[in-house]
Amino acid sequence: MAKVAFLGLGVMGGPMAGHLAKKGGHDVTVYNRTTPKAEAWVKTYGGAFAPTPRQAAEGAEIVFACVGNDDDLRSVVLGDDGALAGMTPGAVFVDHTTASAEVARELAAAAEAKGLGFIDAPVSGGQAGAENGVLTVMCGGDAATYAKVEGAIGSFARACRLMGPAGAGQLTKMVNQICIAGLVQGLSEGVHFAKRAGLDVEAVLDVISKGAAGSWQMENRGKTMNAGKFDFGFAVDWMRKDLGILLDEARRNGAKLPVSALVDQFYAEVQAMGGNRWDTSSLVARLER
C-alpha cells in the first residue's frame, strides 16, 4: 500500500484511480478541475480530494495523471500549483495522458531537476478497459524508476512494459493509433461493401472473424457498426487529437503515413457530420451518407 495521487477523473482517469484504491489498496488523493467530480469520486471510492495538483501530490510516493492534451498536462504538472512543486524528492510522476513525445521529454527533464522520477505511460483499451482494469500500458523512462511504479500500474492494467527512455511510451502509443486507424477504415469498408452486396453482414463478420481478417475491432465493433451505433467510448475528437500528434511526429522523423493522413481527413468528415463525440467506429457512417 502506498500513498498516491491521481490528477484527472475523466472516463479513463476516474476508474483507473478507483482501481488504485479498491484493487490496489492504496491511499489515494485525487484532483479534478471540476470539484464536484472529485467529491463524487471520494464518495464512491474513499480517499480524499485536493483543490490543486500541488496539494494532491504532497506526500505522495507516486502521482498519476490522465488529462486531455499537452497543455492540460503542463497545467497540472508545472508552476506554483503544479504537482512537481508538491512532490518530495524520490517520488515518481506517471503520466497516462496520450500526449506528444516532446512534452514527455520536457516534463521528464523538469522532474529530474527536482530529484523526481517521470514515466510517460499512455494506455490502450478505452473506457471499457479502464473500467474493467485491463488496460495495456506502454512506458518510457529509466528502468529503476519504472520498477518503482510497475506494481501500482498493475492495479488497472493487464499488460505493462517499459519501451525505452522518456518519450518511448508516447511513440509506442502513436504506433498503436496508426494501426487502429487503418483497421477501422478497412472494417468500415468491409461492412459497407457487404451491405451493398446484399449479404447478411453479421453472418459475414462471424465467419471471417475466425480467419486472417479477425481483429479486436471486428469482434467488438463490427456488429455495432452494422447497426449504426457509435456510443462506445473513445471519441472521434480524441482520435483526431492523437492522429494530429503522430502526424506531427512523422513530419519530424520522416515516416511516411499516407493511410493515417487519409483516415484523419475521413474523421474530419465525421466531425462535420456532427459526430465529434461518436466513437471511432463511426468511420462507416461517412460511407453510408
Query: Are the C-beta atoms of 114 and 79 separated by less than 8 Å?
Result: no
Stated length of the chain: 289
Sign of CA dihedral 72, 78, 81, 83: positive
C-alpha cell at 286: 461517412
Half-sphere exposure of 214 toward its Cβ, with a 13 Å CA cutoff?
A: 8
Question: Residue 198: is it exposed, middle or buried by C-beta count within 10 angstroms (0-12/13-18/19+)?
Answer: exposed
CA–CA distance, 234 with 33 (Å, rounded to integer): 21
Beta strand 135-140 with 48-49: parallel, antiparallel or unpaired? Answer: unpaired
CA–CA distance, 282 with 224 (Å, rounded to integer): 10
Alpha-carbon separation of residue 273 from 110, 188, 219, 258 (angstroms): 41, 16, 26, 23
Query: Are the C-beta atoms of 17 and 30 separated by less than 8 Å?
Result: yes
Q: What are the residues whose beta carbons fall under 8 Å from the beta carbon of 113, sequence distance 6 or more? A: none
CB atoms within 10 A of CB 17: 31
Give catalytic residue positions: 173
C-alpha cell at 263: 483516415
H/E stretch holding 135 reads strand 135-140
